């Protein structure tokens, strides 16, 4: 790949952000990144990127800035900090899974200043991003989306344009609802198999071969069997997403009884100290007595 001349600002270098950094660097982009955690900034330097001392410095002299943050409140605070560096014609690509109405408002405010904002949410774990197996679901200006296809192509074979600002965030909640319940159903099934005297490893192979197959059986099934909760996407982060799903459902009048039960399970596990574990630790909700 030929190096890209324009630096790319990346703010947020956690599990997903560091995976994005790897993909952007591998595609030849110069990445200037920032995170409040020193260790994460040092890791970016080891990968070949440049660490900035602040979010504002990471955003300076960049035509496109990528945000990868825990929630939309933090994204709003970061945008306020880097505001002086956002000139007309700039693009902010926000991969944060946040509150759709808030992200819509962020886009509206930036558009008034001539800055384009894409709520370009990512479907997939950090490991799937590293393997270029994720998808992108984006809302915002269609032309700005087209101008960022080269970024999305670094880690996502498919990028979906869904409409105005907030559309990507709404679609991400739909995806996370189904994905999270798939994980919970798999965890309950494997625990049920064990309780019935069926080898869970055999049960997983049968499930993968039959009509009940879902991709989480490949990505999370082996981790559940091994009790490997090394985080690729943290349980507490998904609990945050489930709360966003339920809040969105309340606003639009959707009935989400399964998501309500899912929130209760995740809250119990977080209270038990598993919030920082991988979200496949949901299986512990069914193993506990």
**45 burial class (0-12, 13-18, 19+ CB within 10 angstroms)?**
exposed
Judgement on whether residues 111 and 31 belong to the same structural domain of the protein: yes
Judgement on whether residues 120 and 211 belong to the same structural domain of the protein: no
Give the pair of three-digit tokens for residue 135: 């998808």
Q: What is the CATH number of the domain that holds 102?
A: 3.40.50.720
Query: What does the pLDDT read at residue 6?
Result: 79
Q: How far apart are CA 117 and CA 103, in angstroms?
A: 9
Q: What angle do CA 148, 138, 101 make, to 5 degrees?
A: 130
Judgement on whether residues 160 and 177 belong to the same structural domain of the protein: no
Query: What does the pLDDT read at residue 275?
Result: 98
Q: How far apart are CA 204 and CA 261, in angstroms?
A: 24
Give the pair of three-digit tokens for residue 282: 């949901």
Residue 29 lies in a domain: yes
pLDDT tens per residue, the chain (289 residues)? Answer: 555 667 999 999 999 999 999 999 999 999 999 999 999 999 999 999 999 999 999 999 899 999 999 999 999 999 999 999 999 999 999 999 999 999 999 999 999 999 999 999 999 999 999 999 999 999 999 999 999 999 999 999 999 999 999 999 999 999 999 999 999 999 999 999 999 999 999 999 999 999 999 999 999 999 999 999 999 999 999 999 999 999 999 999 999 999 999 999 999 999 999 999 999 999 999 986 5
Residue 223 lies in a domain: yes
Query: What does the pLDDT read at residue 247?
Result: 97
Query: What does the pLDDT read at residue 28?
Result: 95
Judgement on whether residues 137 and 70 belong to the same structural domain of the protein: yes
Residue 40 lies in a domain: yes
Judgement on whether residues 178 and 140 belong to the same structural domain of the protein: no
Residue 129 lies in a domain: yes
Q: How far apart are CA 92 and CA 283, in angstroms?
A: 37
Query: What does the pLDDT read at residue 289?
Result: 55
Long-range contacts of 144-150 (CB under 8 A, 24+ apart): 144/91, 144/116, 144/117, 144/118, 145/118, 145/120, 147/91, 148/64, 148/91, 148/93, 148/118, 148/120, 150/27
What is the domain range of residue 250? 171-287
């Amino acid at each position: 790949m030929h190096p890209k001349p324009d630096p790319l600002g990346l703010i947020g270098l956690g599990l997903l952000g560091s995976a994005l950094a790897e993909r952007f660097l591998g595609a030849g982009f110069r990445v200037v990144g920032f995170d409040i955690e020193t260790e994460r900034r040092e890791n970016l330097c080891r990968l070949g990127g440049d660490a900035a001392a602040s979010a504002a410095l990471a955003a300076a002299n960049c035509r496109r800035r990528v945000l990868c943050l825990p929630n939309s409140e933090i994204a709003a605070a970061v945008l306020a900090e880097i505001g002086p560096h956002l000139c007309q014609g700039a693009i902010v690509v926000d991969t944060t899974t946040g509150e759709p109405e808030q992200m819509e408002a962020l886009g509206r405010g930036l558009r008034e200043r001539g800055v384009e904002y894409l709520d370009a949410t990512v479907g997939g774990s950090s490991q799937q991003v590293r393997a270029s197996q994720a998808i992108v679901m984006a809302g915002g200006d269609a032309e700005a989306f087209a101008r960022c296809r080269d970024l999305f192509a670094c880690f996502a074979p498919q990028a979906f344009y869904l409409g105005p600002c907030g559309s990507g965030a709404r679609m991400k909640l739909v995806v996370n609802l189904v994905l999270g319940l798939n994980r919970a159903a798999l965890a309950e099934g494997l625990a049920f198999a064990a309780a019935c005297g069926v080898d869970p490893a055999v049960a997983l192979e049968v499930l993968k071969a039959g009509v009940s197959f879902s991709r989480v059986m490949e990505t999370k099934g082996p981790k559940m069997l091994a009790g490997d909760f090394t985080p690729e996407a943290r349980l507490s982060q998904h609990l945050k997403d489930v709360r966003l799903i339920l809040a969105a459902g309340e606003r639009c009048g959707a009935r989400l009884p399964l998501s309500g039960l899912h929130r209760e399970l995740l809250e119990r596990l977080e209270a038990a100290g598993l919030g920082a574990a991988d979200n496949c630790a949901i299986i512990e909700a069914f193993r506990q007595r």
